[in-house]
Amino acid sequence: MTAANRPLKVALLGCGVVGSEVYRLLGDQAADLEARIGAPLEVAGVAVRRPARARAVAVDPGLITTDAAALVRRDDVDIVVEVIGGIEPARSLLLTALAASKAVVTANKALLAEDGMTLHNAARGAGADLYYEASVAGAIPLLRPLRESLAGDAVHRVLGIVNGTTNYILDQMDTSGAGFADALEEAQALGYAEADPTADVEGFDAAAKAAILAGLAFHTKVSPNARRHRQRARVGARGQAARDLRAERRRGVGAGVPGDDPASAPAGRGP
């Protein structure tokens, strides 16, 4: 095999709900992926905290390791895919990968919202690729258009439902009359919600996604701390350029309470 089409080695950090699907897709779609990128993708290792844990897919035991740092530092690793979540050790692992000029793919919305600039600076300094489309609305091409296609446009407002778990729960409660606990349990059984759904139902997930979207749309750092607005952030996210928000307030319009925006239901209607 020539150097031009040698296998690209992938280090997978985390093998939970998302990581298991990444591992499965890398295997099931190997031929298609190779045709698209011009080289085969091979999993070099899978870093997990609990090797004996039952998983949705059968992972080659020879690939499993508990030493994520050693896996990231391996010379044969070309791409690091991070789906463990949280701030640490994810941040340190990704910075190590970027410093070694390895391409990084992450779905870590919490880390990107909290300290995305550090990752961007590390990638820029090392000339490495940093991709995080999966961190917000992973099935929808959203972040790259904001970064690239709309880079020359002035974005005034971003609206959207960004948390599928709470959206599913509220829909079940509204359409079937299910209680919150039953709807949450069903969401977990279907794989929509994690075993620990705190980030979803407390609004942290939506707040982090809103911060990422707003940062890209308005070219500024936005804090993911949404405690004061948590109840409004559980399902949807709204971001608006400060200059436009101030103008709306002067005119006495804008989204002061639910129902102000034509894209949302009037106050008192629906969940």
196: confidence class by pLDDT, cuts 50, 70, 90: confident
Do 79 and 72 meet the contact criterion of CB atoms below 8 Å apart?
no
User: Which fold would CATH assign to domain 157-251?
Assistant: Dihydrodipicolinate Reductase; domain 2 (3.30.360)
Highest-pLDDT range among 6-20, 216-230, 249-263: 6-20
Encode pLDDT of 83-142 as tens digits.
999 999 999 999 999 999 999 999 999 999 999 999 999 999 999 999 999 899 877 888
pLDDT tens digits for range 145-194: 888 888 888 888 888 888 889 999 999 999 999 999 999 999 998 878 87
Per the omega criterion (within 30 degrees of 0), is the bond before 141 cis? no
Q: Which of 164, 128, 122 is nearest to 18 (CA)?
A: 164
CA–CA distance, 228 with 203 (Å, rounded to integer): 11
Query: And the tokens for 243?
Result: 């200059």
Whether 257 shows a pLDDT value over 50: the answer reads no
Tell me if residue 109 is catalytic: no
| Proportion of the chain above pLDDT 90, given as a percent | 52
Alpha carbon dihedral 50, 186, 181, 209, in 10-degree steps, equals 70
Ordered by start, the domain boundaries in the chain are: 3-135, 157-251
Superfamily of 3-135 according to CATH = NAD(P)-binding Rossmann-like Domain (3.40.50.720)
Query: Are the beta carbons of 197 and 234 closer than 8 angstroms?
Result: no
- CA atoms in the 13 A half-sphere facing the CB of 97: 31
Would you state the pLDDT for residue 264?
A: 35
pLDDT digits (tens, 9 = 90+) for 28-76: 999 999 999 999 999 999 999 999 888 889 999 999 999 999 999 999 9
9, 109, 209, 221: the catalytic one is: 209
Report yes or no: 93 and 69 within 8 Å, Cβ to Cβ: yes
Q: Can you spell out the DSSP letters for 22-53?
A: HHHHHHHTHHHHHHHHSS-EEEEEEE-S-TTS
> 256: helix, coil or strand?
coil
Pairing, β 64-65 against β 8-13: unpaired
Sign of the Cα pseudo-torsion (223, 229, 230, 233, in order): negative
pTM over 0.85: no
Token digits for 117? 């600039």
Determine contact, residues 41/5, Cβ cutoff 8 Å.
no
CA distance linking residue 117 with residue 220, whole number of Å? 10
